[in-house]
């Protein structure tokens, strides 16, 4: 019998392997003069039926000029076809599989240490909260990156609907659990559902964003429709997709990747080029659509906004 640990290592190795395979495939296609998008990808970004999108008329919202970029946006087709969404499989090519997810209706619950438990349909939430657009960098722990126009609202604005109590120290996020629609969730050695967490201070930072759209439209299923977190100073796995439940708590949540590989994926997961992943360097990254690499920046370039959150915490494993 395989031990759980053995299986976990298979899973984690799978990540690096997939990345290498996709990179080779992209190089091959580029060499054939097809550019950076594989043939099988073309046209699929919009496979999702228009009728299943939530409130498209609200997007993109007004662009917030405080959040701009010093490098070009990633091509929409790449950002919507090269995905990590383990509920739909361990490869980057999960667009078709993700279309099985039912997102209408979708109830989001905010509970735990709050004055008022909230259970609201995401359609009602996006009609109630003002939608804005922000351009953010995204750095995956696997060392690829992208630059995306997200639409949504600050996490704090969402949490305030439930009025968190003063005793709450952490925010715990939980993705859907539905093995019928997401077959990889039938694999019992993964700790489903996908969980993530932030400290209250992190959640209250203006950079912590809830996205319900990208590229001027409602989020596509492969990108975490109908509602996901975006924390651009942290490795991408913190940006949990398709959230069902948000719980205010005084216990530090153990995230999905931390549960699978605690020596590889920690709670804080702040981007730092000087702290290598145990199996690869984090000094450089490859922007999607580029074949070259560029240096990775401390806190993914957001040190000015977030470094103060971590002063006095040098003893913590901040960057894993």
Ligand X SMILES: Nc1nc2c(c(=O)[nH]1)N[C@H]1C(S)=C(S)[C@@H](COP(=O)(O)O)O[C@H]1N2
What is the binding site for Mo ion (CB under 5 A)? Answer: 84, 140, 236-237
Closer of 163 and 279 to ligand X (Cβ): 279
Say which entry of Mo ion, ligand X, none residue 85 contacts (CB below 5 to 8 A, set by partner kind): ligand X
Q: How far apart are the first and last CA of the chain?
A: 31
**Is residue 175 involved in binding ligand X (CB under 6 A)?**
yes
Report the nearest approach of Mo ion to the CB of residue 120 (Å): 28
Confirm if 61 and 11 have CB atoms less than 8 A apart.
Answer: no
- Does 233 help bind ligand X (rule: CB under 6 A)? no
Query: Is position 86 an interface residue for ligand X (rule: CB under 6 A)?
Result: yes
Nearest to 104 by CA among 89, 126, 82: 126
The alpha carbon of residue 307 and the mean position of all alpha carbons in its chain are separated, in whole angstroms, by 21
Assess 84 for contact with ligand X (CB under 6 A): yes
Considering beta carbons, is residue 83 or 247 the nearer one to ligand X? 83
- Residue 22 burial by Cβ neighbours in a 10 Å radius (0-12, 13-18, 19+): middle
Q: Which of 48, 74, 231, 239 binds ligand X (CB under 6 A)?
A: 239
Q: Which two tokens stand for residue 129?
A: 């909260």
Q: Is 258 in the site for ligand X (CB under 6 A)?
A: no
Q: List the one residue out of 25, 7, 19, 12 whose CA is nearest residue 83.
A: 19
Number of residues in contact with ligand X, rule: CB under 6 A? 16
Does residue 85 interact with ligand X by CB under 6 A?
yes
Nearest CB to ligand X, comparing residues 85 and 113: 85
Helices (H) and strands (E) in the chain, counts: 8, 13
Sign for the CA dihedral angle at 268, 274, 276, 282 comes to: positive
Q: Which member of 237, 265, 267, 319 binds ligand X (CB under 6 A)?
A: 237
User: Closest approach of Cβ 83 to ligand X, in Å?
Assistant: 3
Compute the distance between CA of residue 48 and CA of residue 60 in angstroms, rounded to an integer. 18
Q: Which residues inside 203-232 make contact with ligand X, applying CB under 6 A? A: 223-224
Based on the shown chain and the rule CB under 6 A, indicate whether residue 87 belongs to the binding site for ligand X.
yes
Q: How far is the CB of 97 from Mo ion (least distance, A)?
A: 18
List residues bridging with 52 in a β-sheet: none
Cα(179)–Cα(230) distance, integer angstroms: 25
Cβ atoms of 41 and 302 closer than 8 Å: no
- The distance of closest approach from Cβ of residue 316 to ligand X in the complex, given in angstroms and rounded to an integer, is 22
Asked if 271 and 296 count as a contact pair (C-beta separation under 8 A), the reply is yes
State which residue, 84 or 205, has the beta carbon closest to Mo ion. Answer: 84
241 is a site residue for ligand X (CB under 6 A): yes
The H or E element containing residue 97 is helix 95-98
Convert residues 120-159 into a mask of x (bound to ligand X by CB under 6 A) and - (unbound). Answer: --------------------x-------------------
Distance of alpha carbon 144 from alpha carbon 288, whole angstroms: 6
The entry of Mo ion, ligand X, none near residue 223 (CB within 5 to 8 angstroms by kind) is: ligand X
Give the C-alpha distances (Å, rounded to integers) separating 167 from 33, 135, 164: 58, 33, 8
Q: Which of 225, 240, 246, 260 binds ligand X (CB under 6 A)?
A: 240
User: From ligand X, Mo ion, none, which one binds at residue 286 (CB under 5 to 8 Å depending on kind)?
Assistant: none
Interface with ligand X (CB under 6 A):
83-87, 140, 175, 194, 223-224, 236-237, 239-242
């Amino acid at each position: 019998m395989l031990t759980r640990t053995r299986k976990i290592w298979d899973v984690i190795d799978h990540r690096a392997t997939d990345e290498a395979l996709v990179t080779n495939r992209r190089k091959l296609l580029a060499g054939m003069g097809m550019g950076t998008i594989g043939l099988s990808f073309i046209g699929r970004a919009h496979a999702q039926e228009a009728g299943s999108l939530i409130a498209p008329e609200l997007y993109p919202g007004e662009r917030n000029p405080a959040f701009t970029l010093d490098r070009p946006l990633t091509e929409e087709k790449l950002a919507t076809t090269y995905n990590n969404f383990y509920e739909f499989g361990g490869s980057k090519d999960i667009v078709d599989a993700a279309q099985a997810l039912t997102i209408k209706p979708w109830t989001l619950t905010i509970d735990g240490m709050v004055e008022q438990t909230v259970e609201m349909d995401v359609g009602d939430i996006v009609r109630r909260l003002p939608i804005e657009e922000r351009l953010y960098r995204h750095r995956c722990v696997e060392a690829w990156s992208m630059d995306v126009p997200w639409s949504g609202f600050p996490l704090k604005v969402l949490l305030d609907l439930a009025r968190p109590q003063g005793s709450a120290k952490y925010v715990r996020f939980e993705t859907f659990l539905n093995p019928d629609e997401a077959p990889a969730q039938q694999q019992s050695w993964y700790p489903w559902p996908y969980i993530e967490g932030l400290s209250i201070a992190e959640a209250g930072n203006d950079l912590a964003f809830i996205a319900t759209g990208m590229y001027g439209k409602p989020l596509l299923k492969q990108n975490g429709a109908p509602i996901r977190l975006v924390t651009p100073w942290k490795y991408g796995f913190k940006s949990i997709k398709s959230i069902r439940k948000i719980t205010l708590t005084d216990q530090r949540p153990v995230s999905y990747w931390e549960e699978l590989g605690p020596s590889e994926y920690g709670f804080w997961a702040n981007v730092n080029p000087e702290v290598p992943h145990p199996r690869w360097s984090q000094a450089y990254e490859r922007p999607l659509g580029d074949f070259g690499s560029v240096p990775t920046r401390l806190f993914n370039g957001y040190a000015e906004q977030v470094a103060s959150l971590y002063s006095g915490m040098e003893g913590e494993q901040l960057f894993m």
